[in-house]
Amino acid sequence: MPAQPPTIAPPARREPWHRRAGRALLTWGAPLVAVGAVVLVVFAANVRDRANAERLALRELRVRLEPGERVLHRVRAAERHWYDLYRATYGVLAATDRRVLYVGVLPELYPTPDAPRAFDVRSYPYDTLFAIAATSAPFSAAAVRLSHGGEPRRYGVRAGQRAELGALVREANRRDLVIRETLRLERHYRDSLAALPPNREYYRVHRGDALESIARRYHTTPERLRALNRLADDRIRIGQELLVRVTPHPITPCPPEICGAVSASGGEIRTPEARTPNPPPR
């Protein structure tokens, strides 16, 4: 029986390109769509909670004020982190007469009106470590950069409050400059007092005095009196002036008329005209 020729299978029919593209889209696109939907839901919930968060932050701000502390300017502010861009911590940024205070309400996915909320409270006192400046931030019309001796933080502000933010930054910088100048004047005053010679008290020897009795009167010892007056022994004479006490010049608080820096109407810092670089010795 003659051998049969080998059977050659017909070439496989290639799947159309549009079917292959549709299958790849379903494989890779479905997870991306699901993740995007979750992000949108969380973002919408966070934005919906903005008004309630700002109201709670304003109430918490009043609680956080110290006795006698006054709010001069405030804006509605939000903080976003690079690792959490779809959520924001909404709150209030206020400049008081003592510091800049931020009170934010930490975001929750489904917050309820009666449930307690967690707050992010940050205080920036005016002093030599304080710094504030207007800047820019993603997803915000305006922003402010704040720091107090550590890592700076950035807070976004709505577009409608750009002017109020400018007033807040100017007021905070003005008060910071006043405190810096006051601290500089107080430091100069203390250094001037420390540089003064010590106070020296003398006693004139009368008839019947002895070195030991004089030492008891001034709450010291004969050895100390001998050292102060370079005496070889306890012999003293009538009319002799003995150095009995040496005390450093007291470091007193700087009076406001010397160290009271103020801010003028134009924003410049003024100090009292009559400066006393070195208080007169006693």
Q: CB-based burial of residue 125 (10 Å sphere; 0-12 exposed, 13-18 middle, 19+ buried)?
A: middle
Q: Which pLDDT score is estimated for 101?
A: 96
User: In whole numbers, what is the pLDDT of the chain averaged over residues?
Assistant: 80
What number is the average pLDDT over the span 254-265?
72
Among the residue ranges 1-10, 55-64, 167-176, the one predicted with the least confidence is 1-10
Whether the predicted pLDDT of 279 surpasses 50: no
Q: What does the pLDDT look like over 188-238, one tens digit per residue?
A: 888 888 888 888 999 999 999 999 999 999 999 999 999 999 999 989 999
Strand partners, 154: 145
- Helices 50-64, 17-48: axis angle to 10 degrees equals 40
Cβ atoms of 182 and 165 within 8 Å: the answer is no
DSSP E strand stretches across 40-118:
71-79, 89-96, 99-105
Q: Which pLDDT score is estimated for 257?
A: 78
Distance between CA atoms of residues 202 and 207, nearest Å:
16
Q: Helix H segments across the chain?
A: 17-48, 50-64, 162-195, 211-217, 222-229, 256-259
Whether the predicted pLDDT of 264 surpasses 60: no
Greater confidence (79 vs 9) lies with 79
Q: What does the pLDDT look like over 15-56, one tens digit per residue?
A: 666 666 666 666 665 566 555 544 544 555 455 667 788 889
Tracing tokens 């969380």 back to the chain, one arrives at 42
Greater confidence (87 vs 212) lies with 212
What number is the average pLDDT over the span 168-186?
90
Among the residue ranges 96-105, 220-229, 273-282, the one predicted with the least confidence is 273-282
Q: Of 204, 200, 198, 273, nearest to 239 (Cα)? A: 204
